[in-house]
Amino acid sequence: MQLLKNNVLVTDNWLNAGSEGELPSADDVIVPFARLLKEWGELSTRAGKLGLRLSNTDRPEALGTFLPRLSVIVLPFPAFNDGRAYSIARSLRDMGYRGEIRATGNVLPDQLQFMLQVGFDAFEIGERFPLETWQKASRQMSLAYQRGLFRQASVAEIWTERHTDAEPWLEQPHAG
């Protein structure tokens, strides 16, 4: 499967593991949450990198202790209009997670920008739309009102921009 990352296609080298079965010793693997909980001892000491596949009903705040060891978190869109993963992604970023957050499932170009803004940075995009459509999709809006988004360099936060320059009288250094 090819992944869209930073607006280009890259090859996905991760192994998607099921809920049980032998794991190859050195490969980078993605496991479901139940397996992470069950086999944390072994998984945390493996040589390869570790990824996690969350479901929409797993609570992001339960991941705290695992986050530093994770390099990828895969969040599902069972339907384009099931928006839970947007909140999960943003929670993970709020918690300080800096690894990859990957969108899988019914991922569409016209939602790409929202996904980028809440912290997704990798997308399983399938074959339906040409790459060009995807590349354009990430540049549709150059402004957002909300603060604290996971910002692309090309998107400005309006409220922050408006109030960047503090009133000059507030900025005066204290005399003496």
Partner 1 sequence: MYRYDEFDHQFVRERTNQFRNQTERRLSGALTEDEFRPLRLMNGLYLQLHAYMLRVAIPYGTLSGRQMRQLALIADKWDKGYGHFTTRQNIQYNWVKLEDAPDILDCLAEVEMHAIQTSGNCIRNVTTDHWAGAAADEIADPRPVGELLRQWSSLHPEFSFLPRKFKIAVTGAPHDRAAVKVHDIGLRLHKNEAGAIGWEVIVGGGLGRTPMVGVTVRDFLPQHELVGYLEAIMRVYNLYGRRDNKYKARIKILVHEIGADTFKSEVEAEYARRPHPTTEVEERELARIAAYFAPPAFDKLPRWSASFEEAKLANPGFARWAKNNLGPHRVDGYSIVNISLKPEGGIPGDATAEQMRVMADLAERYGNDELRVSHAQNIVLPHVRKDDLLAVYQALENTNLAAANYGLAGDIIACPGLDYCALATARSIPVAQSISRKFADSKRQDEIGKLKINISGCINACGHHHVGHIGILGLDKKGEEFYQITLGGSSAENASIGTILGPGFAGHEVADAIETILDTYLKHREAGEEFLATYRRLGPKPFKEALYATA
Q: Which residues bind partner 1 (CB under 8 A)?
A: 59, 61, 80-84, 86-88, 90-91, 94, 108, 110-111, 113-115, 117-118, 140-149, 158-163
Shorter beta-carbon distance to partner 1: residue 16 or 106: 106
- Shortest distance, CB of residue 44 to partner 1, whole angstroms? 24
| DSSP conformation letters of 49-106 | -EEEE--TTS-GGGGGGGGGGEEEEEEEESSTT-THHHHHHHHHHHTT--SEEEEEES
Shorter beta-carbon distance to partner 1: residue 10 or 128: 128
Shorter beta-carbon distance to partner 1: residue 42 or 127: 127
Shorter beta-carbon distance to partner 1: residue 15 or 149: 149
- Shortest distance, CB of residue 36 to partner 1, whole angstroms? 20
Shorter beta-carbon distance to partner 1: residue 86 or 123: 86
- Shortest distance, CB of residue 51 to partner 1, whole angstroms? 22
SS3 3: strand
In Å, what is the CA distance from 128 to each residue of 7, 35, 109, 114, 156? Answer: 16, 32, 10, 19, 30
- Shortest distance, CB of residue 152 to partner 1, whole angstroms? 11
Per the structure block, which two tokens stand in for 7? 């607006």
Q: Contact 22/150 with Cβ under 8 angstroms?
A: no
- Shortest distance, CB of residue 98 to partner 1, whole angstroms? 14
Interacting residues of 157 by C-beta distance below 8 A, sequence separation 6+: 143, 144, 145, 146, 147, 149, 151
